[in-house]
Homo-oligomer: A and B are copies of this chain.
Amino acid sequence: MEKTLQLKTAEIEKISHLDYFNIAVSVDCVIFGYDDKELKVLLIKSDLEEFAGLNSLLGDLVKPDEDLDTASYRILKERTGLDDVYLEQVHAFGSIDRHPSGRVVTIAYYSLLDIKNHKLKLSHNELHWHSLSEVKKLAFDHKKILDTSLRCLQEQVMEHPVVFNLLPEKFSLRELQELYESILGVELDRRNFRKKITVKDWLLDINEMETNLSHRPGKLYSVKKQYQRKNKKMATV
């Protein structure tokens, strides 16, 4: 009697192991960039037949010996050559049929980087920056992931010093304001914006001015060291 039960349990366990350990986990990175006064996202042509012609986010399956954060940094590194960039986990997406090759649960991350200063390794063709406003349809559920990530970014942006990776090291308040305006999708009053930013005390006046402008140049600032978010080691402020 006991033996039968034992066997049964073992069998059940074997079955259940097969039943359950057969999902793939992926990481999808929503890599935001900023250039030409527009918020952009890095997309690649999907290589799946099912999504022929559509773009997708940069993602990959998580390896057996890789944790989620490591996978996200690997993907970023592989595609952009960067490894000192801040990544933030956004949400897990796990609809049953979201991936044509099988059950793939994906964890979305977003990242921010300055397009001008980090030219892509464009060896992979079909890897391009796209203006957010022009992104309509993406492969998989990636449009939903993109929308969720943008909302997440918008919620963080006024409370936390996250956006500075989108700008060059030195930037003017006008540039910063334009960046906020593209992220939030609203126009901001210049004077009030400056007050709000300066009171947060994130910025360092580096005593330099803009150059090569056809009008009065503004002062240049950089983020204070303690608010630079280079990598996960950095504490959340």
Contact = CB atoms under 8 A, between A and B. Distances in A.
A63 B65 CA distance: 23
Output the residue of A91, A92, A105 with the most chain B CB within 10 A. Answer: A92
Interface stretch (A20-28, A77-85, A193-201, A204-212): A20-28
Contacts of A103: 21, 64
How extensive is the interface on chain A, given as a class? 20 to 34
A154 interface: no
A152 B169 CA distance: 32
Interface in A98-155: 101-103, 105, 107
Given A91-B89, A92-B92, A19 B68 contact: no
A63 B94 CA distance: 11
A21 B18 CA distance: 11
Contacts of A65: 96
Contacts of A89: 91-92
A105 B62 CA distance: 10
A107 B21 CA distance: 15
6 contacts: A17-B102, A20-B61, A23-B23, A23-B62, A25-B105, A67-B95
